[in-house]
Structure 1
């Protein structure tokens, strides 16, 4: 891989982690938004995805002064030289039940910031020497870091996998390359002790960590799940307009909404040849609209208008329908 290509890929990883797609749940979910069933292989979390913070016999919160001291210690830890993310997650595990939701939220958002800041440097290490080739020799589709740690006979590679996992990342095999990616399921394991907006934010991001909505320019989840995630992000923006992570969730909403109406390059909503709407998408959208109350969701209102217009053309992408879609959901909107 050329240095230019590598640099672009690492920059894209950092931007993706800071804003989102990953790619594609949360508070508005019933069947649609079941965020409590986080995916398996969560680093530093039990395989059954049980809530670490909520039901393990919390001894109660410390005094205000003691809590402030703990937060100060945590902040100082993250400011130290070197990778302190493994220690940061250990600190959260140890003290999460002693802190108020506001302070827990501070810890979780701070460790997210630290992960994003450290991502470029960690990604560089995956491109040192023949590291990519050595990973490729043992990697099988679906492998978790735990499985790769077990497979690796090269101690240097094993150590890299172990540090990556303990730092709250997972391995992202995109376009044949192997890169670290923040695994939000780790922080989401503590989400029930955070404030409502941070809990819902982490669960939104954890959905994407567990199963990306888009990969290699293709939609890899169902159209119904895509719409579910879009509605969950929309609900967050309505419920928590002043959240510290509102910008990130708005970016997620834009990505989800665009995919709902356009699909992806390798999974278009309308076939490139026959111009017909993807049958599974049509079925998922019509099903969601049957259960929706008018005015309950701007996204669903837009989708209903679009589907009504599409029905006039027997769900074929005509010039008039394409113009209607472009006006409804411009591809270049902020």
Structure 2
């Protein structure tokens, strides 16, 4: 009997030990969270911060009185956002300029109507340097403040005005997409030198051809780009001037023919850029020119130069449609 009791006791001890061992093992089993468990929360927080930055900028741009404030904000915050948000911030900057610059130029025109201000502005010289102004620190500082706000001083036919200085906005290249970067590069060319002034081309026809190619590059690389519509209009303006604007320097007054140097520039463009879409248009235009033996205008009755030859005018009239057929899907 004692032997059976001891056997039962031993069996109970063994079962208890096994149960204790099992419970101990269960306590050691823990569920580990994946290493990146917190990433969605972190990404969401980062995205929220970037959206907050955009909203803060919109609010600031609607309230500021000086453009330097918006530039200071972008300088501080552009490095903190991704390229998509950088694009949005840059486009909001352009919206600010669209509102600010027209009223700025209206005020500037009023300022220039005062003889003393106009006289001081003449001290700027050429190339224009605001620091040349002497004896009027208030005017000088006001002009410098506009420059700090990403604006450039322009002068057309003796009339000063403000425009967006896209050359200085190149500093944001590393914070935006290639789309906006290409757009800034194109716009910076106009900041540096207007292509059309005083009723004629202000740069060489070769330089204008280069600008056309840069606009074409944007349109082919970014057909659905954020600034595709704007660049298409720039392209059309450039091309129209390149192929139709013949005031003063492109036509022989006696024969009414296109000057050989201008025709040669078209031929050079074609040979240097055979795969360009623009070359397709230039080639078609040269075919019309050749058909007319280089004569662009008809003889006038009251003046030497009359209207363009009929098929020349027809080509010019259809130019926008031809461009759309190449770039608008």
Pairwise TM-score range, normalised by the shorter structure: 0.7 to 0.9
For residues 36-90 of structure 1, the C-alpha deviation after alignment (integer angstroms, 9 at most, x for no partner) is xxxxxxxxxxxxxxxxxxxxxxxxxx9323322322222221122423x212112
CA contact (8 A) 1:132 1:178 kept: no
SS in 2 for 1:63: helix
CA RMSD of aligned residues (A): 2.6
Say which of 263, 270, 273 aligns to 1:289. Answer: 270
SS at match of 1:277: coil
Deviation at 1:185, TM superposition (A): 1.2
Mind listing any 5+ residue stretches in structure 1 that lack a counterpart? Answer: 1-61
| Structure 1 counterpart of 2:48 | 65
- Structure 1 position 193, deviation (Å): 2.5
Instruction: For residue 207 of structure 1, report the CA deviation from its aligned partner.
Output: 0.8
Residue aligning to 1:139: 124
What is the Cα deviation at residue 206 of structure 1? 0.6
SS in 1 for 2:154: strand
Distance (whole Å) between structure 2 residues aligned to residue 82 and residue 264 of structure 1: 43
| Structure 2 residue corresponding to 1:327, chosen from 314, 317, 327 | 314
SS in 2 for 1:126: helix
Question: How far, CA to CA, are the matches of 2:155 and 2:246 in structure 1?
Answer: 19
Relative distance call for 1:181 and 1:67 in structure 2 (3 A) is: same
Q: 1:140 offset after TM fit, Å?
A: 1.7
Q: Which structure 1 residue ranges, 4+ long, deviate > 3 Å from structure 2?
A: 264-267, 271-274, 311-314, 318-322, 331-334
Q: Residues 49-88 of structure 1 correspond to what in structure 2 (within 5 A)?
A: 63-83=46-66, 85-88=67-70
Aligned residues: 266
TM-score of the pair, normalised by structure 2 = 0.72
CA deviation after TM superposition for structure 1 residue 276, in Å = 3.0
- Separation in 2, partners of 1:279, 1:301: 20
Residue aligning to 1:5: none
Matched position secondary structure for 1:329: helix
Q: Secondary structure at the match of 1:206?
A: helix
Q: Is 1:299 aligned with 2:281? A: no
1:29-108 residue pairs with structure 2 within 5 A? 63-83=46-66, 85-108=67-90
Q: Secondary structure at the match of 2:194?
A: coil
- Confirm or deny that 1:231 pairs with 2:218: no
1:255 lines up with 2:237 in the alignment = yes
Q: Which has the higher contact order (CA 8 A, sep 6+)?
A: 1
